[in-house]
Every structure is written in C-alpha cells, then in structure tokens.
Amino acid sequence: MGAWLVAYLAGDSAVARTVAARLRDFVSLHDYWYPTDGTDYAPALNKALSVSPHVLIPPGKHYLKSTVSLISGTRLIGLGPNSILSSPEAVSSNGAEMITVLRTTGASDILLQGLTIEGGCSEIVSTKRAVRGVRFIECQDVRVIDCEVNNTGDWATSFEKCTDVSVVNYRHRKSGGTLYGGRDGIHFLDCVNFTLNGADIESGDDMVGCTTETRDQRNAVIRNVIGYSMLASGVIFNEEGATTFSTVDILVDGVTIKSGNVVRDVVRVQAINVDTNVTGVTVKNVKGTGYSHGVFISGKKLTRVSVSDVDVVSTRVHGVYINGAQNMRASGMGVSQAAAFDGWNITNCSYFDASPRSLSSQGWGVQVLNCANFTLNGNCYNNGAGLFAAANGGNGRINGCSNYNATGVYAGGSATSYYGLFNDETPTGRVDPATVCNGYIARNRPRNLNALRDAYAACSFGQTVSGSISSQGAINCSVELISDGRYKVNFSAPFESTFYRPEIVAQIMNQDLIVRPIEKKVSYYTFEVRNSSGVALANFILCEFKKAI
C-alpha cells in the first residue's frame, strides 16, 4: 500500500517515518473488522493486536464470540464506559454461551484503560457456570485504569499468581438472578505487590477477595472501596481450602458499605488453618454493617496488627472481633445488635494497646478474654441491655487476663448496663483509680491487692461469723477485730501525718455497705461497717491507705 512509501514528519525536529509506521503506533479495532465477521469482533481484535499491541476500542458494544489473549506490551484503550467488549449474552439456563472475554497467561507490561467488559450473565442463568470476565494468570506489571467489568458468572476480574498489579478507579455491577456464589467483584489469588485504589463494587460474592492457594500473598494495598455484596463480605484475606501459605504486609484503608446494605463481614483477615502465618496487618477507615462481624481478624500465628478509625455494626455477632493477635494496636467504634455479643471482643491476644469505643451494644461494650500484657482504654456507654435481665452484660469485662492496666469510661444507665466494669481477680491486673464506672453495679471488686495505685498500706479481709475475721492478705499493716463490725488497722510504719487518704469498701454478697470512720491516727485507723439497721458483718472488706498528694 502507498502508506509504506509516503513519508510522515511529526515536526521540524522529528525523525521521518512512513505514514504506515505512524498509523501503527495505535490501531483501531474498527479498522480490522470485516463484514463477514458479522457481530463477532474477536477476529478484528486479534488482527489488530497482530499489527500493533496498542489498540483503540471506539465507543460501541463489541461482542467477542471467542476469548482473546493479550500479549506482552498490550495497551487496550477505550474512550470511556461506552467502549465495550462483551461476551455473548446468555440465552440458555446453563449459561453455555458465556465466555471469558480477555485471558492472558505469562505476559507482562499490560494496560487496560477506559473500557467496559460485559460478561453476558443475567437472571436467565439458573445453574452455576464459573466463567470469569477477565483473567490474568502468572502475569507481571499489569495496570487496569478506569475500567468496568459487569454481569459475570464468576470472579469479574481475576489476577492469579500475578506480580506488580495496579488497579485504579474500578467498577463492577453484579448480574441478575440469585446465583451469587463465587461472583466476586475483583479477586487477587496468590498475588504479590498488588494495589486497588478506588472501586465501586456491587457484587454477588465478596466485593474484593484476596486469597492464597499455591504461594504467599504479600505487599497488598486495598484503598477506597465502596459498595455491597449480596451474600458475602466487603474485603477479605484468607486461604483457599486447606493451604497454609502466608499473608504478609497488607493495608486495607477505606472500605464503606453503602447505606442500607448488610454484608457478611465488612473486612475479614483470617488464617483459617492453624499453621498459616499472617503478619503485618493494617485495617483503617472502615465503615458499614455486617451480619457476621464488622471487622474480623483472627489467626493462630497472627502478628503486627493495627486497627484504627473503624465504625462498624454487627447484627448477629461481634462488632469488632480480634482473636490470637500479638503485637497489636486497636481503636475505633464497634457495636453489636445481638444480645449475647459484644461491640468489641478481644480474645487470646497479647502485647497490645486497645482503645475501643462502643455505644448501646447488647452484650458487652468491650470484652477482653484470656489476654496478657496489654493496656485498655475504653469509652463504652449504655451497653448490655440484651443481657441485663440475666444479671449480666455491661460496658466492659476483663476475664482470664494478666499483666494489664485498664482505664477509661465504662458507664451506662442503672436499668441498661448491669455492670459498669467487671474484671476478675488476678495478681497482675490493675484498674486505674481514675477509671469511670457506672451501671446497676458500677464495678465488681476483685480481691486484688496488686491492683492498688501507690498504696502505702492495704489489706483485704472479711467477717462472716461473730468474734472472728478471715484475712485475705495485708501489705504494711495488720487487722485487729475490736468487736463485731468494728476494726482496727495497725500500720507497720506510721504515716508522716494524719493527712493520708483511707479508701475502704465493704460488701455483703456484692452489695455495698456503709463504712463509718471512728479514729484516724498516724499509726492506726479504726472504723465500723453498718447497714440501715446498725453495725453489720461484711464478707469482703478492702482497705487502701494512700499518702496525700
């Protein structure tokens, strides 16, 4: 053709080329379509790619009746959402007509931009057919920008064992019907160094799935995702089946479930199998409602976890559930609408700093179970209504834990929160005296002398029978029975003055009694315990004597 003979010069400083060479910088799909192709643009796209890896997809819906494979260096560029490549539309109930539109194996340096891919699935399909819309398999350096993939029978866009993947401004809309299983909005399987930044996804199955099957997944960034799923979760990281490949260094930053929708988990990072390592997990800026947990992070080998700026609700279980984490920081709002569940539930974790918030959760605002070596600074209000009738629930509970310091506010109405704060007896746990507690029972009183703050002298004892007391322990003092209900605490060494601060709690069966001082001296202190009828016996008395500040 004459184009190979005619010179082309872009400008005064440009190198002369032929017109044909210039035209092949970018070719158009329409230039390679023949009338004999009918409605099938797959031959035209294959011809265009054989001429140049840079192909323009003009506006219009272009059906492909066979899957097209992309080569290394491909640039497939559309002019916006009306530049469409489509599978044939399903007309049979088994969806036999549907195909994978684009499939690429072992290629590198690929760009898809400004395109819409249609999978052809609709409510006509009544049996599951696992056909993915776009597949990249063992590819490197793949970029997908401003693209939309819709109406697929399985994962809409999948990256399978790929490295160095970037997806920006992605959109997905689910197909009609009720066969939602497997229809993820986008899925990364066994991928390394992958990012998704900006996505609007309304999917059947998980909005964003990130899983391992044949190798570790590492260095993942999932940002700014909004949407909902019909039966599954917002963003997930876990294994496929019984595999134990690791999940390492992941960031989930910005997940929002569209108002009025409920997903399974808003965000889930889980080592399903006991030998799976999960390390370097950051989850932040997450908002939405799940019928399972709002945020769910769990594993037997789970380390380096950060959770912040979350605002999630669960309709059936815990708002935020973290199990098995070591080396963790966690904060944000979690709410549970289920009677036996918590806004925050932190179980089997160690070496962490948690600042949970919860308002009107039905079980506990925060419950910390079987944990060690942590600080807890809760802001939990009016929690526990779902368990109040069972004399349970409230704003905070610490049970089976050691080496901790708790502070914050755990407050609720006396007809809403049965407990303000409940913690069990442990020699290495401490509740800061500045902690604010309120409820039907503001705070239970474990017999824990080591939980005192700067106590110069302290003792714990009780009297259940006339004429004798039973001591649970004493520090820098001893206890003497004056008479039933009247006691003298003798200090091992005298205070410098009588300006020390006595703090005494007396209870009978967890009900507070009145403590009336009798005499305050530098070397001893006397007092009596009373109820409305007079002097009373208390089965638990805790005395703390602190130096004046």
Query: Could you report the per-residue pLDDT of 135-187, keeping only the tens digit for each?
Result: 999 999 999 999 999 999 999 999 999 999 999 999 999 988 888 888 999 99
User: pLDDT band for position 20 (50/70/90)?
Assistant: low
**Range 10-33 average pLDDT:** 69
What's the pLDDT at 448?
A: 43
What's the pLDDT at 15?
A: 56
**Range 242-271 average pLDDT:** 98
pLDDT in tens, 61-80: 999 999 999 999 999 999 99
pLDDT in tens, 501-511: 899 999 998 88
Q: Are residues 515 and 460 in the same domain?
A: yes
CA distances from 168 to 112, 125, 148, 194, 197 (A): 10, 30, 11, 11, 5
Taking residue 4's Cβ as centre, other Cβ atoms within 10 Å add up to 9
In a domain, 271, yes or no: no
Q: Are residues 340 and 436 in the same domain?
A: yes
Q: Are residues 436 and 536 in the same domain?
A: no
Q: Are residues 423 and 500 in the same domain?
A: no
pLDDT in tens, 190-249: 999 999 999 999 999 999 999 999 999 999 999 999 999 999 999 999 999 999 999 999
Q: Are residues 348 and 420 in the same domain?
A: yes
What's the pLDDT at 21?
A: 56
Q: Are residues 442 and 378 in the same domain?
A: yes
What's the pLDDT at 547?
A: 74
What's the pLDDT at 23?
A: 56
In a domain, 6, yes or no: no
Q: State the residue range of the domain holding 401.
A: 324-451
What's the pLDDT at 16?
A: 56
Q: Are residues 390 and 442 in the same domain?
A: yes
Please determine, for residue 328, whether its predicted confidence score (pLDDT) is greater than 60: yes
Q: Are residues 441 and 466 in the same domain?
A: no
If one counts the domains in the chain, the total is 2
Task: Provide the percentage of residues in the chain whose pLDDT is more than 90.
Answer: 84
In a domain, 237, yes or no: no
Ranges assigned E (strand) in 291-382: 295-314, 320-336, 344-347, 350-359, 364-369, 372-381
Which of residues 403, 427, 451 is at a domain's end?
Answer: 451
pTM of the model: 0.81
Which of residues 417, 451, 485 is at a domain's end?
Answer: 451
Q: Are residues 375 and 485 in the same domain?
A: no
Q: Are residues 444 and 518 in the same domain?
A: no
Q: Are residues 519 and 542 in the same domain?
A: yes
- State both tokens at 424: 């069990």
In a domain, 429, yes or no: yes
Q: Are residues 431 and 492 in the same domain?
A: no
Least confident interval from 236-245, 255-264, 445-454: 445-454
Q: How far apart are CA 274 and CA 485, in angstroms?
A: 56
Q: How far apart are CA 515 and CA 527, in angstroms?
A: 7
User: pLDDT band for position 498 (50/70/90)?
Assistant: confident
Phi, psi values for residue 51, rounded to 5°: -90, -45
Please determine, for residue 450, whether its predicted confidence score (pLDDT) is greater than 50: no
In a domain, 423, yes or no: yes
Please determine, for residue 380, whether its predicted confidence score (pLDDT) is greater than 90: yes
Please determine, for residue 456, whether its predicted confidence score (pLDDT) is greater than 90: no
Which of residues 416, 451, 486 is at a domain's end?
Answer: 451
Q: Whose structure tokens read 């049979």?
A: 92
CA distances from 229 to 263, 264, 274, 348, 366 (A): 6, 8, 28, 30, 28
